[in-house]
Every structure is written in C-alpha cells, then in structure tokens.
Structure 1
C-alpha cells in the first residue's frame, strides 16, 4: 500500500462528507522535515464547512484518526501529521520488492493498450550524428516505460529516406561520384557529394532544377534513380545498425518515408474528394484558417512533401495497429508541422487524431552552442560513444585493474554515461555536452548510479559466503527509513514518467535513491550485528539493487555487477 493510500484510509471516514478520496489524495503532502512525520494533511479546505480554524480541525483529527500502519497522529498548526510504523512498513515493502523482483513498479493501467512510438529517424546518406541522440534515447525509454505501465509499445524508425534531397544527391553522384569511393567509405563520401552540390548550386542554379528533376524521376519509378537510391539507403542502414547495437536499441519496424509512396495518392484523392484541397500558386494545399499557414500537400511540379507522407503514415498506422496513443519523438522545431498534420486529420474526419502527440525535446549544446552540421562537419554519435567507452575503460583500469570482463563493463559504463547524461535533463530543456563530466563516478551521473548498484552487489556477494537472508523483520533507523521511503515511491515515479513522457523523472529518482543508499552505507555497518539484524540490512540492499537495475533498464542502460 502506498503512503498516500494509508493516509487516505485513515482520513476518509472522518472527512468523507466534505472531501472525496481523490481530493484527499491530491491534498496529501510530504513534510519538509523528518521530525514532522512522514505524511502531512493540510486542513484549510475543511475550515469553511466545519466553521472552525484549520488548527482546531487538525487537533481534533489527531485525536480520532487511526490506522494499523500509523504509529501516531500529531497536529502541527493547520496540518495533521502522521508518523508511520517504520519496522512494519519496511518489512512489508522489502518483502514485496524482493518477491516481485524486476516486476516491482509494473502496472496494469495500460491493460495492453497499443502505443506507437516514432523515434530516432535519421536521414539516409547522412552520418548518424549527435543531433539524433535525444530522439533515439528518449523514444527508447518511453517504449520501455510504456511496457512497464502495461501497454504494448510498437517502436518505429521512420527513416528520412525520401524527398528532394535524394534527387540532389543522385544529381551530385552523377556529376562527381565514384563508385569505389562510395563502397569503401559510404556515408562520408555521400555527405561530401551532398555538401558539394549545395555549394556548386549557389553558383549554378541549374543544378537545383536538375536535383528536383531526379527526385521527380525517383517518384515516377525511374530504374536508374531507384537503383542509386536503394544503394545509398542500404549502405546507410549498415552504418546506422552499428550505432543502434552500441546503444542496445532495436525497433519493431524500420519504415522510412518511402514505405508510404504507394499510399500517398489515396490520401491526396481523399483530401480532394472531401473538398479540402485547394490550388495556391500552382501548388496544392489544405487551408487551416486565417491565423495559420496552409499545409502544403503537393509542390508545383507534383512531387510530395513531408506532410503528405506523414498523413499517409498516420492513416496506415491507425489501420494497422489500432493504437491508443501515437507518439512522435521529434525536435521542438517541428511543432507547427505536427499541429498541421493533426489538424488536417481531424478535418478529414479522423477523430483518432486526438490520440496523437508530438513529444518535443530541446537541443544538445557544446559550450552553449548548438551541435549541428556545418559545412559538412558533424559530431558523429558512433565516435562519441566509442570515446566514452575508451575513457570509461581508462578510468576502471586505474580504479580496478583486476576487473574481469573489462571490455564489456567499459561499454556498459561509457554508453550508459552518454544516455544518462541526456535523460537526466528534462526533455524540453537543452543538454550541455561534456564527456569528462558525464563519466565521473560521483555527482549526478550514470556511472554514479551504476557504481552504487555494483557496491551493493559486492556487499551481498561477500555476505552470502557468511550466511543467508532468512527472515525479514524490518528496520527503523533514520538512514534505512530514507531508503525505504524512496523504494516505496518507485511505482509512482514509473507511472509519472510515462504520463509526462519524461524519462528524467526516473533518472532523477535513481540519483536520489543512490544518494540515500550511500548515506546509509556510510552511517550503518551492514555486516555487523546479530544474524537477524544483518539479514534485514542485507535484504534492504537487495531491494535497492532490484530497483536500481530496473530503473536503469527503463532508461536503456545496463547495470554491471562489478565496476
């Protein structure tokens, strides 16, 4: 039973004529100071009905409220404070966590609801840069959180594999490309061609016309255009897969924009039949009202755009998956685009557009500036991850040179550090990239959480040579109680993280739990005391490892047992 549920149970009989269960729950607070108890209930809202001061109401409630999990009630001014029975609650919570193991914190709220999550979505023929990190790790964590909350996630990688830029790339290859160079070093070579095309087209506008012509050929099924495009795509996918393997991320469907080529004509036809399509300066658009720009469906040359493909994708996904939610984990700069897509779907009569949500996020910064492609120079994600792994390996060789499986642990720590550094930041905020900082074993870092878990695992391993955790009777010292209170909050935080589409809720929670555990470890001699006392302390540590490992998993991070 959650702490707020205990308080509601105790209060409901005495205030149900004034407040509902839900209203009582919303009013429950956690006191700022431990000497004021574990739960606080403000009595201000009862004053008008009872025609008494909040202070008097708190005093009267303290004399009549009782609950088997509550040691005592105290009035503290206008607040009714409750002190929980630490030993009883810690006993029950530790038993619950250890019995449920990694199922602790799981919910059935979603009852199998299907959640489609569109994330990562790099562009083919371009490097997998740091710019794609946020969408990739946020989307993956949301999929894991959806599953933990009882939903069925469908992870879709909507590759940027269609559009005018591929006509430009084909034109560039036809002018300056070399087959052997592309085969030997595909992505850098293709990027150079693309950059050269843009530079040359500034002096020669005819090149841009040529690029658009090649894309029109591609849309029309031209064999040469299709062959080159498919080659560029296949080479890109091989490179992308290396990065996904490093991150430990997989997808249920890899369906690029090109997947919807044979579905767009039907969308354009439907828009036209429903009277939504209008001519505008030779292009075809859907007008969205005086205050908004129109949604562009077809260019003057008849080629399609992002909007056309996203409309086709949305309709296909709803028909295929019958989703309860469809999330687009895409940067905040695309907000207007998704507002238009959702509005057009509504105008088409699809009321399920209300189940679609754009999940935006902030930028990755380096020295306060955006990390982005500039004149062909990009910060490659694969290189960043490898650099993090190498630095993690150096750190561990210094701290623990005898460590077995050093390569595997270095990968888990290095990659985990990069992911955690991203996800500990609130989604809409920007992230300052600092590899040295994110790899530290102290402070608000991934390695700090991983090391806390490994430290607990070491103690448990050491203890198992001396005895076993048999009976749990509970703990009541102030240091263990801080840990117990945080363990109790885990299911609530799991739900809140998914409801807000905010993995940082879990990352911040893990930091708090790690801090509380290290304080506990620093003040309590775990392996001292009689057998029963030792068993209780070890059982608490076991519960901590379960929650730390599961919390890290929900962020897409591994938890090595030794570091």
Structure 2
C-alpha cells in the first residue's frame, strides 16, 4: 500500500488549480516526533497561490481531508498532520508483502525499456584497487534497482584498454621488463614497471615521447606493440574476473575502448559532415560557448577518450536502443561527460536526453586520493580476503558449529566491504578504513545480515507457516514503527532510482533493522499463543524486505550466522 501516494491523491482532490500529484507526494514529510502523527504535508508553497497564511491553509485542509486509511487529521502550524489507521495499515501492508514476497516494491514505470549502465571499467595492466570499488558497487546496485523499477538493464564494463598509458607500459616493459617475472605475477610486475616509468620520466622527459610513439605504433597495428598489448589485456581480464566472482557481479558486455577503434573514423566523418568540427592549433575540436572545446583528434592524429565515448554511445544506441544510459564514473570526469552529451546534442542525437553521468566521490587513504602511478594503492582483493578472514574469525569465536561457515564468512566479509561504500551518499568522498569496514556492529553490512538471520531463526523456532494468511491485528504498539518502515520500501526504491543513489536503500535497511531489533527487544514474540502467528507474519515481512534490500545492494542474506 503506497500511503504517500494515496495521501497525495487525497490532498490534490482538495486543492484548486493544477497542483501535480507527484510534486505533492514529494513534499510530504515524516513528522519529527511520533506524537505529531505519521505523515505531514507542508502548506508553505501554497501560501502565494491561495493568498493565505500556511497556518490558515493547513486548518482549512485538515477539515476537508478524510480517507479510510486516516484515523485523525490535525493542523499544526503550517502543516497538515495525519495519524494513520494502524490496524488497517498493518493488515494491508503485511498482506501485500506476504503475497508479493520478493516482488514487494517492484515498480513498472520502466516499462521494459533498456537502460545501459556503464560501470567499473578498470584499466588493464593495473591492479584492481579500492579506487575501483566505488564505480563497481554503485553501478551494480543501480542496475539491480533499475530492474526492480521495470527497466531491462544492460551492464557494461567499458574496460580501459587503450590510450597513451599503454605506450608508456610497452616502453617500460621493453626497457626493464623480464618475461618470466611478468608471467609469474603479471599485474604486480606490470604495476611495478608502470610506477618505474613515471619515476624515471621525472629525470628523463624523453621517456614520455617514447611512450607516445609506442602508442602511435599500437594504433597503427605494429606487430610487437599489438602482441604485448594483447598479453597485458588477457592477463588483466583473468585477474578482474576473480574479483567480479567474489563480488557476485556479471556483465552483459566487456567491450573495452579498443573495441571502438574501427568505429571512430565514422564519428569524425559525421562530425565533419554536420559542420561542428573545427581545426585548432593542428588538432580537431568541437567548440562550445561557455565551456572548453571537446578535443576529438590530437595534432598527431591520435584519438582521445571523447572520440571513443562518442563511438561507444552511437554503437550502444544502435545495438540496444536504450531509453536511458548511465555512466557511473568519478566526479573528476564531469566536464568530459558534459562535453560528450553536448556534442551529441549539437549533431541532433535526440536520444542523448536519456543519458546521464552518475558521478561519485573519491576513495581516500589518509585524506588523499589513491594513485596508481605513484604506487599508492590498496588492492581490493587483499581487502576482500581480510574481510572474509575477520568474518570467519568472528564466527569461530561466537558460533563455531555454524553450518557452511566458509560460505557465510564469504557473504558477510564481502558484504561488509560493499555496504561500507554504499551507505555513503555517492557524491561524498569515502575514507578507506579497514577497521570501520569490518566492524560488525552499528551501521554495517554484518548488522543487517545478522538481523535477517535473527528473523530467520525466529521463524524456524516458531514453525511459521507462510501459507497461512495473516488475520488478527497485533496488540503490540512497538510493532508500529516496523510497519511504518516496511510501508516505505517501495518509495525508497523509487527515490533511489530517481536520484541514482543506492545509499537510500542502504540507510533504509539500517532503519528497518533498528526498528525490528527494538521490537524484538521489547516483545517476547514466541510466548503468546494467540499473537504468535500475527507476530511471526511481521517477522516474515521484515525478513522478506531485508533480504530484498540487501539484494538490491548486491549483498547476500545468510539464513544463519
């Protein structure tokens, strides 16, 4: 039951003029204190249109509003506050969850349209560091949330396998590399060579020119350059695959930048045909007003990120016919995407309106950005291994006879790392802290997973039969905050998608877990034979929603911990 939607509809019926129901719904708040009601509608924006004070408008509206789901209406200051019919709401919300199961909160506004989600996109020949975690888990969660909203997500891993850095790496390997050493630990050794190149280049600037020349040879199909590049790419994809397996992430496409090499010439020709490409100091650019020009071709004829991303956007539109296309890429690339979308608009690609850059803050270490070229990275694989180790240690201390404890430790440890990232609003920077990540209390993944396991345990002990319909109203007043939280889940999913913000789901599951644990601590759920079925129906509802919330974040929900 979407109460905010229903309440917005009731308010709209009482308002004169073209007040949009969706805007009314967006304006509805939750009162700061429980004694002030369950929902509140602020009347301040209406004051100008009605030429009355917000307080007077609230008083007039409160006298007109009535609905079966509303118990009482009060005008408090400039707000219309409503108290919901708890018995009716509890019955309907739980009946809806128990009937829908994991489909509770599913929306259809996506109408089966395609949404491409470009995320993760690590560079080959470099380790998968904690710096790559943000794009990976945010993008994966958004693709799951989009699917929940009725879209058909296409998950794209746009591998960074092209560019001047590969000319630099080839130069470094030819100068200092050893084939046997690289074969033993490819990513570790290639990173060492990449870091050495930048250290040596400080004293010998000619190395930069050598790097550019080898990339030019790579673009021209030079046999040795292609052979080394292919080797570096194959080894990298093997290592990346191990990380994605641990995170439970799959992709529909892993076509990297190099895939678009044969498609860029047509992009340049199209830009010339449309008359938007001009020459500037020997390079070719698309100029704009109020924004730096978009560089399409360098003076030496080599291509850039923008050229490849234009080719990729056109290819994806032709292949998938997307309605929306998301790029989950760090905030530092905001100008690049503004330019990319502006070029597409300039040449008349109307489908550009469905494209969006989803920026996020940096993963910091000691307050500073992690840097691959300086060798200052924390490897994601090592963090995941440590997290799983700590989870196993915790299980051995507290529940050594737990069944399948290796699998549970993997789910809990990996979930701790994912949740630590996703609980932050994506635009905020995140300070890397292994200690905070692995805390098994408070606003953490393990806390949510443990709450789910606790609910599962109660259902087993109470021999809950989910085929039996919930019939009786609960007499537990402490259950109401849990019901209110359950009722909010569909709205949270919609808001998360609209804002491209998985942290709203993460914060929601924390609130639901807290409400449930408070209920668990104040009511002996299994002790009253007359109330046990209705109480367990509530427990089962919580279990369903917690599990689905965790799934939308890309996490598992263990039955036992």
Q: Same fold (TM over 0.5)?
A: yes
- Is the partner of 1:174 in helix, strand or coil? helix
Q: Note if contact 2:95-2:470 (Cα within 8 Å) is conserved in structure 1.
A: no
Q: Distance in 2 between matches of 1:280 and 1:49?
A: 53
Checking the alignment, whether the CA contact within 8 Å between 2:260 and 2:308 is kept in structure 1 is yes
Instruction: Verify the 8 A CA contact 2:126 2:190 in the aligned structure 1.
Output: yes
Structure 1 residue 51 displacement after superposition: 7.9
Tell me the CA shift for residue 523 of structure 1: 0.6
- Structure-1 separation of matches of 2:50 and 2:3: 26
Q: What is the TM-score with the length of structure 2 in the denominator?
A: 0.94
Distance 1:172 1:537, change over 3 A: same
Once the two structures are superposed, the pairs formed by residues 464-543 of structure 1 within 5 Å of their partners are 464=463, 470-475=469-474, 477-531=476-530, 533-543=531-541
Query: In structure 2, how many angstroms separate the alpha carbons of the residues matched to 1:450 and 1:385?
Result: 17
Give, in angstroms, the shift of residue 429 of structure 1: 0.3
TM-fit CA distance, 1:348? 2.0
CA offsets, 1:495-528, max 9 Å, x none? 1001100000000011111110011011111001
Give the whole-Å Cα distance in 2 for the aligned partners of 1:45 and 1:211. 60
Instruction: Give secondary structure in 2 for the equivalent of 1:510.
Output: helix
Q: How far apart, CA to CA, are the structure 2 residues paired with 1:416 and 1:424?
A: 12
Partner of 2:543: 545
Moved more, 365-374 or 13-22: 13-22
Unpaired runs of 5+ in structure 1? none
Counterpart of 2:246 in structure 1 is 246
- State whether residues 86 and 476 of structure 1, in contact with CA within 8 Å, keep that contact through their aligned partners in structure 2: no
Deviation at 1:424, TM superposition (A): 0.3
Note if 1:395 corresponds to 2:394. Answer: yes
Q: Report the CA distance between 1:11 and its aligned residue.
A: 4.4
State the superposition RMSD in angstroms.
2.3
What is aligned with 2:560?
A: 562
Distance 1:29 1:55 in 2: 17
- Tell me which residue corresponds to 1:276: 276
Q: 2:382, 2:117 → 1: CA distance?
A: 27
Distance 2:180 2:43 in 1: 77
Structure 1 equivalent of residue 171 of structure 2? 171
The count of corresponding residues between Structure 1 and Structure 2 is 561
Q: How far apart, in 2, do the equivalents of 1:58 and 1:461 lie? A: 48
Q: Does 1:152 align with 2:152?
A: yes
Give 1:81 shift: 3.0
CA distance in 2, matches of 1:195, 1:46: 61
Contact 2:194–2:373, Cα closer than 8 Å, also in 1:
no
Q: Distance in 2 between matches of 1:62 and 1:287?
A: 56
**SS of 1:525's equivalent?**
coil
**1:31 equivalent in structure 2:** 31
Aligned-partner SS, 1:395: helix
Structure 2 CA distance for partners of 1:295 and 1:60, relative to 1, 3 Å: closer
SS at match of 1:357: strand
Partners of 2:195 and 2:373 within 8 A in 1? no
Structure 2 distance, partners of 1:331, 1:525, is 48
Equivalent residue, structure 2, for 1:101 = 101
Superposition map of 1:218-237 within 5 A: 218-237=218-237
Confirm or deny: 8 A CA contact 2:198 2:373 kept in the other structure. Answer: no
Q: What is the Cα deviation at residue 199 of structure 1? A: 2.7
Q: Which residue of 2 aligns with 1:312?
A: 311
CA deviation profile, 1:359-402 (whole Å, cap 9, x unmatched): 11001123323233353342111001111111111112111111
The answer as to whether partners of 1:121 and 1:159 remain within 8 angstroms in 2 is yes
CA shift digits 1:427-465 (9 cap, x unpaired): 000112222222223211111111111111111111118
Offset, 1:277: 2.4
Secondary structure of 2:401's aligned partner = coil
Structure 2: gaps (5+ residues): none
Displacement of 1:466? 10
- Check 1:467–1:510 CA distance in 2 against 1; reply closer, same or farther (3 A cut): closer
Aligned to 2:206: 206
Contact (CA 8 Å) 1:105, 1:491: kept in 2 or not?
Answer: yes
Asked if the contact 2:38/2:84 (under 8 Å) is kept, the reply is yes
SS class of match (1:404): coil
Structure 1 residues 167 and 43, CA gap change in structure 2 (3 angstroms): closer
Instruction: Look up the match of 2:378.
Output: 379
Question: Shift of the alpha carbon at 1:54?
Answer: 5.7
- DSSP-derived class of the 2:322 partner: coil
Aligned to 2:82, what secondary structure does the other structure show? strand
Going from structure 1 to structure 2, the CA distance change for 1:522 and 1:376 (only over 3 Å counts) comes to same
What residue in structure 1 maps to residue 90 of structure 2? 90
What's the CA shift for 1:64?
5.0
Query: In structure 2, how many angstroms separate the alpha carbons of the residues matched to 1:199 and 1:48?
Result: 64
Check whether the contact 2:247–2:414 (CA below 8 A) recurs between aligned residues: yes
Q: 1:79 to 1:117 in 2, by over 3 A?
A: closer
Q: CA 1:265 to 1:520, structure 2 compared with 1: closer, same or farther past 3 Å?
A: same
Classify the secondary structure of the residue corresponding to 2:462: helix
CA shift in 2, pair 1:467/1:219, >3 Å: closer
- Paired residue for 2:69? 69
Change (3 A) 1:201 1:250: same
Counterpart residue number, 1:450: 449
Q: How does 1:159-198 map to 2 (within 5 A)?
A: 159-198=159-198
- Change in 2 beyond 3 A, CA 1:213/1:11: closer
Compute the displacement of 1:200 (Å). Answer: 2.8
Decide whether the 8 Å contact of 2:389 with 2:409 is kept in 1. yes
2:208 and 2:47 mapped to 1: Cα distance? 73
Shift of 1:205: 3.5
- Alpha-carbon distance change, 277 to 53 in structure 1, aligned in 2, over 3 angstroms: closer
Give TM-score, length-normalised by structure 1: 0.94
Is the Cα–Cα contact under 8 Å of residues 182 and 189 in structure 1 kept in the other structure? yes
**Is the 1:117–1:155 contact (alpha carbons within 8 Å) kept by the matching residues of 2?**
yes
2:140 — aligned with what?
A: 140
